[in-house]
Amino acid sequence: MPESHEHVITIRGLVNRFGSQVVHDDLQLDVRRDEILGVVGGSGTGKSVLLRSILGLHGPNEGRIEVLGQKIRYHEPGPHKQWGVLFQGGALLSGLTVQENVELPIALHSDLSVGMRRELAVLKIFMVGLDLNAAAKYPNELSGGMQKRASLARALSLEPKILFLDEPTAGLDPISASQFDQLVRYLGDNLDLTIVMITHDVDTLFGVCDRVAVLVNKGIIVDTVDEIVKHPDPWIQEYFGDPRAVRARRAAKAKVNT
């Protein structure tokens, strides 16, 4: 985990309401530079709403959000070139090849030549563990795991400082999910990258994340993975006390000690 506690995302007093339903009430959050932060919570706790608020895709009722020192406002330009997003469904354009999908943000947000765009796209494709054969294929010709990697390559195309991942291992088999976790950890360790990921995968939480943010009681509780399991909140105790979570924690600790 990074030693510096410089904050790249700061949220103060966030309130999100939908009619009479209050999802977030005075939520406070700081995301540290170069950390991998996992975000977890029960159904209806507003994980996706929180992500969309940070990205400026949803207008909160109250509160202040700053990303890389810039205030985020609903539907106004933010530091978009400095973040990459992997949405849960991947959101690849079906009519474009993988390479064309990865090139698209570069074409839209830079003045690089066609040749340079192609070279940079290929570099990102290789970076996520795909090859030129996969680069020439269309999304529907790829496995689920390869689609996730292609989407990740596109999210990295503009060399962002922050990477947002929405349920990155959802729908993957255990081997593909484990490989994707290893890739995320590698990228976090080697690219000077802050990663914020929404996930329900306890293997990811214990094996990849530096800290965990749990959405409970309309707010958020943040701590290291070792400390969060000790928190007395009933939902946290139930979630991290589940046998699968206990096994995942033991496996992560055993891996560190080997």
pLDDT of residue 1: 44
CATH of the domain at 150: 3.40.50.300
Residue 175, in any domain of the structure: yes
pLDDT tens for each residue of the chain, 258 residues long: 444 468 999 999 999 999 999 999 999 999 999 999 999 999 989 999 999 999 999 999 999 999 999 999 887 767 778 999 998 766 889 999 999 999 999 998 888 899 999 999 999 999 999 999 999 999 999 988 899 999 999 999 999 999 999 999 988 888 989 999 999 999 999 988 999 999 989 999 999 999 999 999 999 999 998 999 999 999 999 999 999 898 988 888 888 776
Helix or strand or coil: residue 177? helix
Which residues have CB under 8 Å from 149's CB, separation 6+? Answer: 128, 129, 130, 180, 183
Residue 243, in any domain of the structure: no
Host domain of residue 151: 7-224
Residue 247, in any domain of the structure: no
Q: Where are the alpha helices (DSSP H) in 55-201?
A: 98-109, 114-127, 132-135, 144-155, 174-190
Q: How far apart are CA 103 and CA 93, in angstroms?
A: 12
Rounded to 5°, the CA angle 13-15-237 comes to 85
Residue 239, in any domain of the structure: no
Sign of CA dihedral 127, 153, 100, 144: positive
Residue 230, in any domain of the structure: no
Token pair, residue 44, equals 């209806």
pLDDT of residue 25: 97
pLDDT of residue 87: 85
Residue 69, in any domain of the structure: yes
Residue 57, in any domain of the structure: yes
Residue 83, in any domain of the structure: yes
pLDDT of residue 85: 93
Total domains in the fold of the chain: 1
